[in-house]
A and B are shown apart, each in its own frame.
Chain A
Amino acid sequence: MKTLEQENKQNKKLSIEDKLFLVKNKKDKISHITINKKICKKCQHKACLIVCPAKSYEENHGTIEVAYENCLECGSCRVICTDGAIKWENPRGGFGVRFKNG
């Protein structure tokens, strides 16, 4: 017999990396996201670091970096970057994610 909690824990948990692996994605060599890192230095919230559902943003030694290859193209980082450091264009035609179910 299992407790309710143990029973529920049986549901398989996937990491973000595993989940991204499930997404069909034709990765471009050119990044569709560029960051003006000077602006980031003054940013009060750095919300890009937590909002991204692909965890594409990281802070390394005080600089913000983005792994654009993982992007799910939601556009949330573009909107949440209130200081306008992020320049975000749609990936070129033929590149990026390809959802099957939607």
Chain B
Amino acid sequence: MSQNDKVEVIIVGAGPAGLTCAYSLAKRGAEVVVIERGEYPGAKNMFGGIFFSSIMEKIFPEFFDEAPWERFVGKRKFSILAGKSELAFDMMPSAFNEKPYNHSFITLRGTMDGWLAKKAEGAGVSIITDYCVSDFLYEKGKIVGITSGSGDEDNLLADMIVCAEGANSILTEKAKLRKKIDPERRSIAIKENMRLPQNVIEDRFGLAGRQGAAFEYFGEAVQGLLGNGFIYTNKDSLSVGVGFSLSDFIKNRNGKNPNDILEDFKSHPSIAPLLKGAEIVEYMAHMIPSDGFDSLPKLYRDGLLVIGDAAGLLNTSFFHEGVNLAMASGIYAADTIMEARRKNDFSSQTLSLYEEKLKDSFVLQDIKNCKNFLSFLHKNKSLINDYPTLMNDILVDYFRVSEKPKTAVKKEIFRKVKKNVKFTRLAREMWGAWSNLI
């Protein structure tokens, strides 16, 4: 690259957001360069994870037959660990076990990001890897290019730049679109990829063919922190991890680090048998945004749009949707850039169309709908800590085999509940849960 190299659009970050935006632009004739700091797309990335593929399948109808997904999510479990006990809600809906498989596919980023990158390249996108953007270049307040910080010969200029840098949004901060991130607005997640033979996985989890299981664990799984543990079945490995709010680490002083919590989770009597014999092949860490509707960054400025996790566009509710919102924001950004290109006007006034498009779509509507989800749980920890334990105790008492008459057992349970639960508070919390969580 020479100092004066200029392209139409530069996209920083080859994740689902950046690659989708690049593909969508290139398909419509724009000249696009994607810059990725990793050695290959996916090298720096990790997620749970379930790829919610409805948008992917609209863009790439061949997704189902071609993409390197591991298993479709045929079985789901939401479980509460309390002490050494488990209480779970298990589901295997027939509708999720036939096409389109509820658009939910367990995947690994290493293979999926590479597949998406190939699709983008096929549409004419150039991807430059091993290039880390250290800052944007400015001219009269407009963002006009990128630099790696190691000399002018690496600089690249463009009419438009799209920032798709993900959750650790350093460039977005440098461009003054957001303030220093508050620890309440990010979770840390760590994950192990554990190899286990395909037939063992299928026998152990009761899976047929390419059916897969996605298990989420709450309560003791993360020791009272706001977050959860998870197990997802890949073809011949398991994704096992825990994730929790960073702010809880400031308040919680029990001194355990994320790896200790993961190890405790893995040795829980409900979890350990599922992992028996599995060999750890990789250990990874990543942040998850939880900006929420009221703390989203500014999404544009002259010459720049921010998409995906960098823009905090993640549904922080039970649904944990990230990749589909990232891809949707990439498409809306591409639509906006095509409009700006037609007008030859890349000012923030034209680019504000991007935010309008997001507002009209499920992206910002869903994020708005769950805007109180995390703050509500932060304030009402009993919902994730005390009630699950109590519920477990109640069920244990109820089902315990003894010579006590059942009416006496019921009375005892009622006394226990009365002692532990303030009903007015419970009613308030349940109402809060209904309006903020669902």
For residue A101, CB closer than 8 A to chain B, the reply is yes
Q: Which of B24-32, B118-126, B180-188, B363-371 contacts A (4 or more CB under 8 A)?
A: B180-188
CB contacts (< 8 Å) of B108 on chain A: these are 101-102
Interchain CB contact under 8 A, B132 and A51? no
**Per-residue B-contact encoding for A29-67, CB less than 8 Å = 1, 0 else:** 000000000000000010100111111000000000000
Chain A: minimal CB distance from B112 (Å): 8
Q: How far is the CA of A93 from the CA of B281 in the complex (A)?
A: 25
CB contacts (< 8 Å) of B134 on chain A: these are 89-90
CB contacts (< 8 Å) of A102 on chain B: these are 42, 45-47, 108-110, 113, 284
For residue B294, CB closer than 8 A to chain A, the reply is no
Chain B: minimal CB distance from A86 (Å): 11
Q: How far is the CA of A47 from the CA of B46 in the complex (A)?
A: 23
Interchain CB contact under 8 A, B257 and A93? no
Q: How far is the CA of A76 from the CA of B248 in the complex (A)?
A: 12
CB contacts (< 8 Å) of A88 on chain B: these are 170
Interchain CB contact under 8 A, B267 and A8? yes
Q: How far is the CA of A4 from the CA of B108 in the complex (A)?
A: 32
Interchain CB contact under 8 A, B269 and A8? yes
- Pick the contact of A94: B130, B193, B277, B284 (CB < 8 A): B130
A-B contact number at CB 8 A = 156
Chain A: minimal CB distance from B197 (Å): 16
Interchain CB contact under 8 A, B150 and A51? no
Interchain CB contact under 8 A, B188 and A99? no
For residue B437, CB closer than 8 A to chain A, the reply is no
Interchain CB contact under 8 A, B282 and A76? no
Interchain CB contact under 8 A, B39 and A94? yes
Which partner residue on chain B sits nearest A72 by CB separation?
B285
Known: A53-B257, A99-B282. A80 touches B272 (CB 8 A): no
Q: How far is the CA of A80 from the CA of B281 in the complex (A)?
A: 28
Chain A: minimal CB distance from B198 (Å): 16
CB contacts (< 8 Å) of A91 on chain B: these are 37, 132
Q: How far is the CA of A88 from the CA of B169 in the complex (A)?
A: 11
Interchain CB contact under 8 A, B250 and A93? no
Q: How far is the CA of A78 from the CA of B285 in the complex (A)?
A: 14
CB contacts (< 8 Å) of A54 on chain B: these are 285
Interchain CB contact under 8 A, B167 and A75? yes
Interchain CB contact under 8 A, B183 and A80? yes
Chain A: minimal CB distance from B379 (Å): 20
- Pick the contact of B255: A50, A92, A98 (CB < 8 A): A50
For residue B286, CB closer than 8 A to chain A, the reply is yes
Interchain CB contact under 8 A, A90 and B43? no
CB contacts (< 8 Å) of A47 on chain B: these are 183, 249-250
Chain B: minimal CB distance from A42 (Å): 15
- Pick the contact of A74: B110, B275, B287 (CB < 8 A): B287
Known: A47-B249, A74-B286, A74-B287. A79 touches B186 (CB 8 A): yes
For residue B38, CB closer than 8 A to chain A, the reply is yes
Q: How far is the CA of A40 from the CA of B279 in the complex (A)?
A: 39
- Pick the contact of B250: A7, A12, A75, A80 (CB < 8 A): A80
For residue B246, CB closer than 8 A to chain A, the reply is yes
Q: How far is the CA of A13 from the CA of B194 in the complex (A)?
A: 12
Chain A: minimal CB distance from B11 (Å): 16
Interchain CB contact under 8 A, A53 and B37? no
**Per-residue A-contact encoding for B168-195, CB less than 8 Å = 1, 0 else:** 1010000000001111011010101100
CB contacts (< 8 Å) of B410 on chain A: these are none
For residue B148, CB closer than 8 A to chain A, the reply is yes
Q: How far is the CA of A93 from the CA of B148 in the complex (A)?
A: 8
Known: A74-B168, A74-B188. A82 touches B45 (CB 8 A): no
For residue A19, CB closer than 8 A to chain B, the reply is yes
- Pick the contact of B257: A5, A10, A55, A72 (CB < 8 A): A55
CB contacts (< 8 Å) of A92 on chain B: these are 132, 148, 150
Q: How far is the CA of A75 from the CA of B280 in the complex (A)?
A: 23
Which partner residue on chain B sits nearest A96 by CB separation?
B44
Interchain CB contact under 8 A, A53 and B110? no
Closest 3 CB pairs of A and B: A102-B109, A75-B168, A8-B272
Extra contacts besides A97-B43, A99-B45, A101-B281 (6): CB < 8 Å:
A11-B266, A79-B181, A79-B246, A92-B148, A99-B44, A101-B109
Q: Pull 22 A–B residue pairs with CB atoms less than 8 Å apart, ordered by A.
A: A8-B272, A11-B272, A11-B277, A11-B278, A12-B279, A20-B283, A22-B280, A23-B284, A55-B257, A73-B44, A73-B285, A74-B287, A89-B134, A91-B132, A93-B132, A96-B44, A97-B43, A99-B282, A101-B282, A102-B42, A102-B46, A102-B108
| Residues of B participating in the A interface, judged by any CB pair closer than 8 Å | 37-39, 42-47, 108-110, 113, 129-132, 134, 148, 150, 167-168, 170, 180-183, 185-186, 188, 190, 192-193, 237, 239, 246, 249-250, 255-259, 263, 266-267, 269, 272-273, 275-287
